[in-house]
Amino acid sequence: MAIPRAAKTQRRTRIQEEKEEKILEAALDVFSVSGFRGSTIDQIADVAGMSKPNLLYYFRTKEAMHRALIDRVLFTWLEPLRAFDANGNPESEIRSYIRRKLEMARDFPRESRLFANEVLQGAPHIEDELKGPLKDLVDEKAEVIKSWAKAGKIAKCDPYHLIFSIWSTTQHYADFDVQVLAVLGQEQAGSGRFEDAARFLEQLFIDGLRVKPAS
Amino acid sequence: MAIPRAAKTQRRTRIQEEKEEKILEAALDVFSVSGFRGSTIDQIADVAGMSKPNLLYYFRTKEAMHRALIDRVLFTWLEPLRAFDANGNPESEIRSYIRRKLEMARDFPRESRLFANEVLQGAPHIEDELKGPLKDLVDEKAEVIKSWAKAGKIAKCDPYHLIFSIWSTTQHYADFDVQVLAVLGQEQAGSGRFEDAARFLEQLFIDGLRVKPAS
DNA sequence: TGTAATGTTTACCAGTCGGTCAAATTATCC
DNA sequence: GGATAATTTGACCGACTGGTAAACATTACA
């Protein structure tokens, strides 16, 4: 009898482990480009090198695949913000947050696009995660930033919009990569663009947030 | 005989004018949410309140609809950057560019998402526009910014990444609106967020680009 | 080694997809 | 008002969609 469909048994088989991994890897490829609606199980099956029914043996529906993928990626995705240290030096915390986010945009562009696609299309599958864990984490870090501003360690500013602007500027290099490449042109298209971006963004945010001499 | 299919006749009928308008309006609704692949002609027909074959009478294919929509929207979309004045005051030019882009994010979020979806999915339909008109325009304005920096009117910085960062921060409020709303929560979700964003971004970019006193 | 559980495939289904066609309806202009 | 062109519709097509059923193959384990 083949009803297990993964996780029905207490312990996951080695084969389950491997195949689910393979499927989610392929799913990431496909969903990150075409979004949920625009992706098909057949495409994912093709990329994974497996048959469609075989995919559906491990994940009962297309939605289950998407969900599993989101769940797996979300935690990692929030890691840089979680690492934001209230007791650290404000300037270097912001600097390294930007660095880290930019590194993720460079090293995990598919993950970035997966969320971008999802949010762009109204976040029908991750609304709860946004209003729950994400909001909570941002609220917490916003408090930290606010206290820094109050203590005169950085310029007074809206912490939420600061976080939004760091998100958008860094993820831009993953989500809109084609556009960035098109505008920069062949010559500058080497991966040096990430270094250039890092330099620019650090300058922008550090100088932009420096406390101004009382005028 | 009904072969006209719009624009075959020299002059467009009033009815053609109206219906094409109606269709593109509906197409914008649908494409901006689901992207090209994820959208269906039936959806567009539904929104437009017309029958599917009727839509296909005005636009032979789904791609033709998408193309017509892109063509129509692209010019307007680049207006703010085009208005960037080489002879103006750098600070106020940057300030008003940010304002204008933010206003567009607020007033034309669908247009923003249309492009975001397209670029995110690899820009298969607008590659030429990106490498041509867009790149040319950006190159031109980048020169302007570079000359400002050289003249000591603003801090030295990479002009391309400056433009990218203005794009990303402003469009973020259109493309990732659901996320912004989720994080800000009900209480702050009024349209005041655009004013807050404007204040923050102007502070960030103006202070971030101010020439630093020789250290 | 046998056998039960797990994994894989082929064939298939009903619904949806982009798009066509011919017939019916409406607008235009003399 | 009638002829002619422009517009709209319903019926339909083959390809693809997410998903199922059952037969078949493989693995794990006593």
pLDDT digits (tens, 9 = 90+) for A189-209: 677 999 999 999 999 999 988
* pLDDT score for A6: 43
**B191 and B153 belong to one structural domain:** yes
**B54 and B88 belong to one structural domain:** no
Which parts of chain B register pLDDT below 50? 1-11
Query: Residue B65 is which amino acid?
Result: M
* pLDDT score for B65: 98
What are the Cα distances from residue B55, in Å, to A181, B17, B21?
Answer: 35, 13, 11
Task: Report the domain count for chain B.
Answer: 2
| Residues A166 and B208 sit within 8 Å (Cβ to Cβ) | no
- Do B183 and A130 lie within an 8 Å CB cutoff? yes
- Do B183 and A121 lie within an 8 Å CB cutoff? no
| Residues A119 and B167 sit within 8 Å (Cβ to Cβ) | no
∠B109-A99-A200 over CA atoms, to 5°? Answer: 70
* pLDDT score for A139: 97
**Within-domain flag for A30:** yes
Of A138, A161, A168, the CB nearest to B200: A161
* pLDDT score for A12: 65
pLDDT class of A80 with cuts at 50, 70, 90: very high
CB-CB neighbours of B61 under 10 Å:
10
**B110 and B203 belong to one structural domain:** yes
Nearest nucleotide to A4, CA against C1' atoms? C6
Q: Which nucleotides of D are covered by protein (CB under 7 A)?
A: 5-11, 16-24, 27-28
B189 vs B101: CA distance, rounded Å: 20
| Residues B136 and B167 sit within 8 Å (Cβ to Cβ) | no
Q: Which of A77, A175, A207, A212 to mutate to test the interface with B (most CBs of B within 10 A)?
A: A207
**Within-domain flag for A197:** yes
* pLDDT score for A191: 73
Chain A residues 7-26 within 7 Å (CB) of strand C: 9, 13, 15-16, 19
Residues of A in contact with B34 (CB under 8 A): 35, 37-38, 121
Residue B21: CATH number of its domain? 1.10.10.60
B164 vs A201: CA distance, rounded Å: 10
CA/C1' separation B111–D7 (Å): 30
Short-list A129, A117, A35, CA closest to A75: A129
B138 vs B181: CA distance, rounded Å: 31
* pLDDT score for A3: 42
**A82 and A111 belong to one structural domain:** yes
- Do B158 and A200 lie within an 8 Å CB cutoff? yes
pLDDT class of A23 with cuts at 50, 70, 90: very high
Task: Please state at what angle helix A62-83 crosses helix A41-48, rounded to 10 degrees.
Answer: 70
**A191 and A149 belong to one structural domain:** yes
* pLDDT score for B215: 53
Short-list A94, A204, A158, CA closest to B199: A158
- Do A35 and B35 lie within an 8 Å CB cutoff? yes
Q: Which residue of A has its CA nearest to B137?
A: A183
Residue B136: CATH number of its domain? 1.10.357.10
Does residue A86 register a pLDDT over 60?
Answer: yes
Parent domain of A55: 14-64
**Within-domain flag for B7:** no
The DSSP output letter for B123 is: -
**A88 and A19 belong to one structural domain:** no
Residues of B in contact with A210 (CB under 8 A): 207
Residue with tokens 């609704």: B29
**A90 and A182 belong to one structural domain:** yes
Mean confidence (pLDDT) of chain A: 92
* pLDDT score for B22: 98
Does residue A4 register a pLDDT over 60?
Answer: no
Of A37, A38, A169, the CB nearest to B168: A169
pLDDT class of A213 with cuts at 50, 70, 90: low
Does residue A174 register a pLDDT over 60?
Answer: yes
Decide if B187 touches A, using CB distance below 8 A: no
**Within-domain flag for B67:** no
**A92 and A197 belong to one structural domain:** yes
| Residues A172 and B168 sit within 8 Å (Cβ to Cβ) | yes
The residue from B60, B88, B115 where one domain ends is B60
Decide if A68 touches B, using CB distance below 8 A: no
Asked whether strand C has any atom less than 7 Å from the CB of B42, the reply is yes
| Residues B1 and B31 sit within 8 Å (Cβ to Cβ) | no
- Indicate the SS3 state at residue A156: coil
Give the closest-approach CA distance of B146 to chain A in angstroms. Answer: 14
- Do A34 and B34 lie within an 8 Å CB cutoff? no
- Do B38 and A38 lie within an 8 Å CB cutoff? yes
**A92 and A189 belong to one structural domain:** yes
Does residue A128 register a pLDDT over 50?
Answer: yes
**Within-domain flag for B2:** no
Q: Which of A203, A209, A212, A215 to mutate to test the interface with B (most CBs of B within 10 A)?
A: A203
Q: How many CA atoms lie within 13 A of A94 on its CB side?
A: 26
- Do B184 and A155 lie within an 8 Å CB cutoff? no
CB within 8 Å of chain A, chain B residues 111-150: 113, 116-117, 119-123, 127, 130-131, 134-135, 138
Decide if A180 touches B, using CB distance below 8 A: yes
By 3-state DSSP, what share of chain A in percent is helix, strand and coil, each rounded to 5? 75, 0, 25
- Do B168 and A164 lie within an 8 Å CB cutoff? no
